[in-house]
Amino acid sequence: DNLPVQPLSHTPEDLAAKIRTCTACPLHCAATQAVVGEGAIDARIMVVGEQPGDQEDLAGRPFIGPAGQVLQEALEKAGVDRSTLYLTNAVKHFRFRLQGRRRIHQSPDEAHVAACRPWLEQEIALVRPKLIVSLGATALKALDGPGSVMAERRGTLWTVGEGENAVQRLALAHPSWLLRLGDSAQGEIERQRFGEGLVRLRDFC
Ligand code: URA
């Protein structure tokens, strides 16, 4: 297809600089900045979200807003230290619509995910994680293809690739979804399920 070919990056700094100047899709026009992944560059676990939210867009860091707080609390409960992870997103720019002065999150389209995928691939190539955890359907599809279905994958570990290149995969719910479910009975069940999924990360830390 006619996606732009991104030149290979050989250092995290080089990759971050390229991501920050990316214009491969229109999302860079309205967003404040691209949000590059952060964390240990030799992390054994990479966590992939959907896209930066309002606060992440302003701060330039992933998972520091409300969804990040839900993730942080669940990680602590599961006994996983955030600093041991590499955290990133399938799409590096915030997509939103304006409602008055408020910026309302809009999920990225497949085209945005496809335009950003070379960056995700390069992050994976640099970090070489043993486990990649996708949070939500967008990250799952970005990693495993648009035909991947959350209901079939959620909570299970599976292997992608072979030999030295084998990577374990785990698909979990997105913390923003848990936030939206709130204190409902379903929210309680899904938070528990999310926590049980995160406990599996301990085997890779
Ligand atoms: N939601 C995401 O998927 N990623 C972030 O960085 C913040 C919120």
Q: Answer yes or no: are the C-beta atoms of 115 and 3 closer than 8 Å.
A: yes
Quote the ligand 1 centre to 197 CA distance (angstroms).
Answer: 18
Q: What is the pLDDT of residue 205?
A: 87
Q: What is the pLDDT of residue 43?
A: 98
Residues with CB under 6 A from ligand 1: 49-53, 56, 62-63, 65, 67-68, 89, 176
Is 33 part of a structural domain of the chain? yes
Quote the ligand 1 centre to 163 CA distance (angstroms).
Answer: 31
Q: What is the pLDDT of residue 3?
A: 63
Average pLDDT, the chain: 96
Is 1 part of a structural domain of the chain? no
SS3 content of the chain, % helix, strand, coil (to 5): 45, 20, 35
Q: What is the pLDDT of residue 10?
A: 86
Q: What is the pLDDT of residue 84?
A: 97
Please identify which residue in the block is written with the tokens 């590059």: 36
Is 7 part of a structural domain of the chain? no
Q: Would you put residue 100 in left (φ > 0), alpha (ψ -120 to 50) or beta?
A: left
Is 167 part of a structural domain of the chain? yes
Is 6 part of a structural domain of the chain? no
Query: CA–CA separation, 112 vs 109, rounded Å?
Result: 5
Q: Which of 50, 105, 174 gets mutated to test ligand 1 (max ligand atoms within 8 A of its CB)?
A: 50
CATH, residue 132:
3.40.470.10
Query: CA–CA separation, 172 vs 194, rounded Å?
Result: 6
Q: Would you put residue 12 in left (φ > 0), alpha (ψ -120 to 50) or beta?
A: alpha
Is 5 part of a structural domain of the chain? no
Is 36 part of a structural domain of the chain? yes
Q: What is the pLDDT of residues 145-186, one digit of tens each?
A: 999 999 999 999 999 999 988 999 999 999 999 999 999 999
Query: CA–CA separation, 63 vs 37, rounded Å?
Result: 10
- What distance lies between CA 54 and its chain's CA centroid? 15
Number of domains making up the chain: 1
Q: What is the pLDDT of residue 6?
A: 75
Is 163 part of a structural domain of the chain? yes
Length of the chain as a residue count: 205
Rounded average pLDDT over 78-86: 98
Its domain, for residue 102, covers: 12-204
Banded model confidence at residue 8, pLDDT cuts 50, 70, 90: confident
